[in-house]
Structure 1
Amino acid sequence: MPAVTVDNVLALPRIAEPAPGAVSRPVRSLTTAPVAYEGEGFPVRRAFAGIDLAALDPFVLMDQMGEVDYAPGEPKGTAWHPHRGFETVTYMIEGIMEHRDSSGGGGTIGGGDTQWMTAGGGILHIETPPEHLVMSGGLFHGVQLWVNLPRENKMAAPRYQDITGRKVALLSSSDGGALVRVIAGEVDGHHGPGSTYTPISLVHATIAPGASLTLPWNPDFNALAYVLAGAGFVGEDRRPIHTGQTAVYGRGDTITISATDTQDSRTKSLEVFFLGGKPIREPIAMAGPFVMNTRAEVFQAFEDFQAGRLGSVPARYETLD
Structure 2
Amino acid sequence: MRKIKKKYKAAYAPMDDLVTYRALPTREVEYIDPFLFLNHHGPQVYKSNNRGLPFGPHPHRGFETLTFILEGDIMHQDTGGGKDVIEAGGVQWMTAGSGLIHAEVSSDKFKKEGGPLEILQLWFNLPARYKMTQPKYVGLQKDQIPTVTEDEGKVKVNVISGKWRDTEGPIPSLSDIHMASIELQQGGSFTTTVAAERNIFFYVVRGAVKVNGETAEKLTLVEFENEGNELKVEAQENSYILFGHAQPFNEPVVSHGPFVMNTEEEIHDAFRDYQAGKMGSWQ
Q: 1:311 to 1:62 in 2, by over 3 A?
A: same
2:71 counterpart of 1:94: yes
Larger CA deviation: 138-147 vs 246-255: 246-255
Check conservation: 1:34, 1:47, Cα contact below 8 A.
yes
Flag structure 2 segments of 5+ consecutive residues without an equivalent: none
Equivalent residue of 1:157, what SS? Answer: coil
Q: Could you tell me the TM-score, scaled by structure 1's length?
A: 0.83
- Cα distance in 2, alignment partners of residues 173 and 209 from structure 1: 13
**Aligned twin of 1:143:** 120
Which structure would you say has the larger Rg? 1
Cα distance between partner residues in 2 of 1:173 and 1:51:
32
CA distance in 2: counterparts of 1:259 and 1:174, whole angstroms? 11
Aligned twin of 1:295:
264
**1:28 matches 2:9:** no
For the Cα contact (< 8 Å) 1:188–1:216, is it kept in 2?
Answer: no
**Contact 2:62–2:96 (CA under 8 A) maintained in structure 1:** yes
CA distance in 2, matches of 1:215, 1:77: 38
CA distance in 2, matches of 1:276, 1:122: 25
Q: Give the alignment partner of residue 154 of structure 2, picking from 177, 182, 186.
A: 177
Match of 1:115 in 2: 92
1:52 CA drift (Å): 4.1
Query: Given residue 43 of structure 2, which amino acid in structure 1 is its aligned partner?
Result: E
Which position in structure 2 is the counterpart of 1:13?
Answer: none
TM-score (normalised: structure 2): 0.93
Q: Is the 8 A contact 2:146 2:158 kept in 1?
A: yes
Residues 1:288 and 1:52: Cα distance change in structure 2 (over 3 Å): closer
User: Runs of 5+ in structure 1 lacking a partner?
Assistant: 1-23, 264-268, 315-321
1:205 aligns with 2:174: no
Structure 1's consecutive aligned runs of 4 or more residues displaced over 3 angstroms after TM superposition are none
Matches within 5 A, 1:1-321: 24-38=1-15, 41-48=17-24, 49=26, 50-53=28-31, 56-74=32-50, 75-235=52-212, 238-250=213-225, 251-260=227-236, 263=237, 269-314=238-283
Deviation at 1:169, TM superposition (A): 2.4
Question: Residues 178-203 of structure 1: CA distance to partner in whole angstroms, max 9, x if unpaired?
Answer: 11111111122321111211111111
Q: CA deviation at 1:207?
A: 1.3
8 Å Cα contact 1:207-1:213 kept in structure 2? no
SS of the residue corresponding to residue 303 of structure 1 reads helix
Does the 8 Å contact 2:151/2:188 carry over to 1?
A: no
**What secondary structure, in the 3-state scheme, does the structure 1 residue paired with 2:97 have?**
coil
Equivalent residue number for residue 7 of structure 1: none
- Contact in 2 for aligned 1:249/1:255 (Cα 8 Å): no
User: What number of residue pairs does the alignment pair up?
Assistant: 279
Q: CA deviation at 1:218?
A: 4.0
Q: CA deviation at 1:208?
A: 1.4
Cα deviations by residue, 1:32-56 (Å, 9 ceiling, x for unpaired): 0011134x65222111222243xx1
Question: CA distance change for structure 1 residues 190 and 219 in 2, over 3 Å: closer, same or farther?
Answer: farther
Would you say the 8 A contact 2:97–2:132 is kept in 1?
yes
Q: Contact conserved, 2:35 with 2:201, CA < 8 A, in 1?
A: no
Counterpart amino acid of residue 45 in structure 1: Y
- Give, as a single letter, the amino acid of the residue that structure 2 aligns with 1:180: V
**Conservation of the 8 A alpha-carbon contact between 1:35 and 1:45:** yes
2:194, 2:88 → 1: CA distance? Answer: 26
Question: What root-mean-square deviation, in Å, do the aligned CA atoms of Structure 1 and Structure 2 show?
Answer: 1.6
Amino acid at match of 2:120: V
